[in-house]
């Protein structure tokens, strides 16, 4: 069951509700020792997908303006170059792919920025 927390301006929990809309704040508070403070809810970090589809990746790269640079770079590679073959033929892109990480380095993207692109790509649908 999901719970929802409402925080005040100082990020203190002012209400906790279940999906059914029942407030659990008073029940929660009654179980705490006197003077205890309910800490604000901190959402877990967004999981980084290990794989996205080619379409999802291309959509995010196009939206970020990276596609022209990548296409120019790929055109400089020989037809039998593994990076070119991967770029042109992979149906899924893996976060740990050496080709993908080489392209990220060429674009001066940090690991965190590539993670962000993977998260954004995973949310793209055709």
pLDDT of the residue at 98: 92
Statement: residue 13 has pLDDT above 70: no
Residue with the larger pLDDT of the pair 108 and 40? 108
At residue 6, what are phi and psi to the nearest 5 degrees? -110, 125
pLDDT confidence of 101, banded at 50, 70, 90? very high
Structure tokens at 14: 């002012």
pLDDT of the residue at 88: 94
In degrees, rounded to 5, the angle at the alpha carbon of residue 106 between the alpha carbons of residues 102 and 112 is: 75
Alpha-carbon gap, residue 27 to 9, rounded angstroms: 23
pLDDT of the residue at 42: 72
Cβ-contact 93, 33 below 8 angstroms: no
Q: How confident is the model over 93-105, as a mean pLDDT?
A: 94
Q: How confident is the model over 93-108, as a mean pLDDT?
A: 94
Alpha-carbon gap, residue 106 to 122, rounded angstroms: 22
Model confidence, pTM: 0.68
Least trusted range by pLDDT, from 4-18, 45-59, 91-105: 4-18
Statement: residue 21 has pLDDT above 90: no
């Amino acid at each position: 069951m999901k719970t929802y927390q409402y925080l005040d301006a100082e990020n203190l929990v002012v209400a906790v509700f279940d999906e059914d809309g029942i407030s659990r704040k008073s029940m929660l508070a009654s179980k705490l020792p006197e003077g205890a403070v309910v800490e604000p809810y901190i959402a877990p970090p967004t999981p980084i997908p290990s794989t996205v589809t080619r379409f999802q990746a291309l959509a995010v790269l196009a939206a970020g303006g990276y596609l022209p640079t990548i296409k120019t770079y790929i055109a400089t590679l020989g037809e039998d170059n593994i990076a070119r073959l991967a770029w042109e033929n992979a149906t899924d892109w893996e976060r740990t792919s050496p080709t993908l990480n080489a392209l990220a380095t060429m674009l001066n993207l940090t690991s965190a920025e590539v993670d962000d692109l993977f998260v954004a790509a995973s949310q793209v649908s055709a």
